[in-house]
Amino acid sequence: MSEPTVVTVTGAGGQIGYSLLFRIASGQLLGPDRPVVLRLLEIPQGLGAAEGTALELQDCAFPLLAGVEATTEMLRAFDGVDVALLVGARPRGPGMERADLLAANGGIFAPQGAAIGAGAADDVRVLVVGNPANTNALITQSAAAGVPAERFTALTRLDHNRAVAQLAAKTGAAVSDIDGVVIWGNHSATQVPDLSHATVGGRPALELVDEEWIADEFIPRVAKRGAEIIAVRGSSSAASAAAAAIDHVHDWVNGTATPGRPERWTSVALPSEGWYGVPEGLVSSFPARSVDGRWEVVEGLDIAPVWQRRIDASVAELEEERAAVGELGLLG
């Protein structure tokens, strides 16, 4: 068996952490025959929950779990890290303005970025889950001296999975029959779940669903699914977020191609290199394939004006967030 992969999970004592850690330890993050060492980073208030989870992880006797350690020490948590899942974030409190939220999260993600820059493995992979995920990823990346920008991503896979599931439900198809869905932009209410390139059993989705359903039901349903889950479940989406984080890293490490679907893509938020006119550096969601352990944005898709207007609005929101954190001095 290979050397263990060091996987650091921040916010490990929280809801998503509790769903995520057991799946990582069972081998679902990286694949079979890949042992892992888990580092659980928490703040003092969350440490007990993380330590308790570490005890339960031990009790599972997972053959691939080579070690687990809970800590509040950031440098320790990221020392030699291969995969960093940044889940812990500051939620919006009562009366908190957006600038306060960005500042509070900057205070978390900038030091974590610096610690990743100081101690991570050369080929570290970083996935930011904690919201506002795209801009938190931007802050982390800009603080991580010496680590290539392409190593930093934010989670829009949950939105992607939600979009696939909604299209499958609407058309009566199996999830595995659906290809070519894209999430563009920000992981927020402005996100753009795009069906114009999607296929259902090889047929264009636009032949099966109409523009009205897309605009009035599909897009709002996907974009506001988090609020729907809270309303129905009484608590935020945690297991589905954890499942999406697993999918994201699994595909990043193992590739997106699957038997019979070599061209399969997914959606990933990563620092733009100017793709589709998105300003350089903004962490925005794109269609991407993972090839040889690297994300490759799918270029050259035709974007119809109605979709372009939606994408422009989401990208404008990301630019505003970048300007706001820039003014706060959070971009290095």
290: CB partners within 8 A, 6+ apart: 251, 252, 253, 254, 255, 256, 266, 296
Annotated binding-site positions: 11-17, 92, 98, 105, 112, 129-131, 162
CA trace torsion 22, 28, 29, 35 (10° rounding): 80
A 10 A CB-CB count for 42 gives: 24
Q: How far is the CB of 86 from ligand NAI (least distance, A)?
A: 8
Q: How far is the CB of 253 from ligand NAI (least distance, A)?
A: 19
Rounded alpha-carbon distances, angstroms, from residue 41 to 46, 85, 173, 250: 9, 10, 41, 21
Given a contact cutoff of 8 angstroms between Cβ atoms, the answer to whether 271 and 138 are in contact is yes
Q: Counting Cβ atoms within 10 Å, is residue 263 exposed (0-12), middle (13-18) or buried (19+)?
A: exposed
Minimum Å distance from CB 130 to ligand NAI? 4
Provide the annotated binding site for substrate: 92, 98, 131, 162
Residue closer to ligand NAI, measured from CB, 83 or 108:
108
Q: How far is the CB of 213 from ligand NAI (least distance, A)?
A: 24
The neighbouring-strand residues paired with 271 are 283
Closer Cβ to ligand NAI, 16 or 298, answer by number: 16
- Residue positions in the annotated binding site for NAD(+)? 11-17, 105, 112, 129-131
Cβ-contact 269, 285 below 8 angstroms: yes
CB of 291 to ligand NAI, least distance (A): 24
Helix axes 133-143, 305-327, angle to 10 degrees: 50
Q: Which residue has the tokens 């595995």?
A: 176
> What distance in Å separates the CA atoms of residue 142 and residue 95, rounded to the nearest whole number?
29
Catalytic residue among 160, 187, 197, 248: 187
User: Which residues lie near ligand NAI (CB under 6 A)?
Assistant: 10-11, 13-17, 41-43, 45-46, 87-89, 91, 108, 129-131, 133, 155, 158, 187, 236-238, 241
Decide if 187 is catalytic: yes
Q: Which residue is nearest to ligand NAI (CB)?
A: 14
Q: How far apart are CA 204 and CA 214, in angstroms?
A: 14
Which residue, 10 or 140, is less far from ligand NAI as judged by CB? Answer: 10
Which CB atom, from 64 or from 242, has the smaller least distance to ligand NAI?
A: 242
List residues with catalytic annotation: 187
